[in-house]
Amino acid sequence: MNHAHQKFTQALTTLPLVAILRGLTPAEALPVGQALVSTGWTLIEIPLNSPQPLDSIAAMAGAYPEALIGAGTVLTTEDVRNVQAAGGQLIVSPNFNPAVVREAVRLGMVCLPGVMTASEAFGALEAGATGLKIFPAEMITPAVVKALRAVLPKQAPVMPVGGVTPDNMGAYLAAGANGFGIGSALYKPGMTAAQVADSAKNFVAAYTGTMRA
């Protein structure tokens, strides 16, 4: 297990929440990164349709080596290589592209492709995906996650993304989800680092409270 996968495995046992920072600018990268890391978040993705995303990834990866930093909306093998060159170790996609997964695996990166069906899920795992991004979760109820979880390998992390809030995390966790990707409920462009920290703390409280319950 390489260092990137060690970070991911550790996060799954402590705080398996991926911060999705769509629209983040390089100037915001370090203050927002600090707001997240200081509240316990170690999984951070900057979607490639953000302004100068590779610059933000490089800044965060350099400043917060304890965190697993990478990119979302990764659609091509060239994207994968560019993220790795910037210092990123995490590849998240809205879809399952076997070539993208295989390239991430080749480079030793953590890879979470987006899947919606059992066929996509098994195909992604066969290609070497580290875990599965269940997307969009607005269309995939906890009951569907439970049905997928019944047939998927127990060791395969399942992480719903899309419309996840502190209020609905418990139902997904009870259905067998292992973590979540959190987007606009955590960060929207223009938010201050202090606002992001407050939002991050709310999600930490919701997750830990649900796990205790």
Low-confidence residues in the chain, pLDDT < 70: 213
pLDDT at 37: 98
Catalytic residue among 7, 133, 138, 201: 133
Please tell me whether the peptide bond between 136 and the residue prior to it is cis, using omega within 30 degrees of 0: yes
Element (H, E) at 127: helix 118-127
pLDDT at 213: 60
pLDDT at 73: 98
pLDDT at 210: 77
Does the pTM surpass 0.85? The reply is yes
Examine the residue annotation and report whether 133 is marked as an active-site residue of this protein.
yes
Catalytic residue among 28, 45, 120, 126: 45
pLDDT at 49: 98
Helix 77-85 to helix 53-63 angle (10° resolution) is: 40
Tens-digit pLDDT profile for residues 77-97: 999 999 999 999 999 999 999
Eight-class DSSP state of 138: G
Q: Cα separation of 123 and 109, whole Å? A: 18
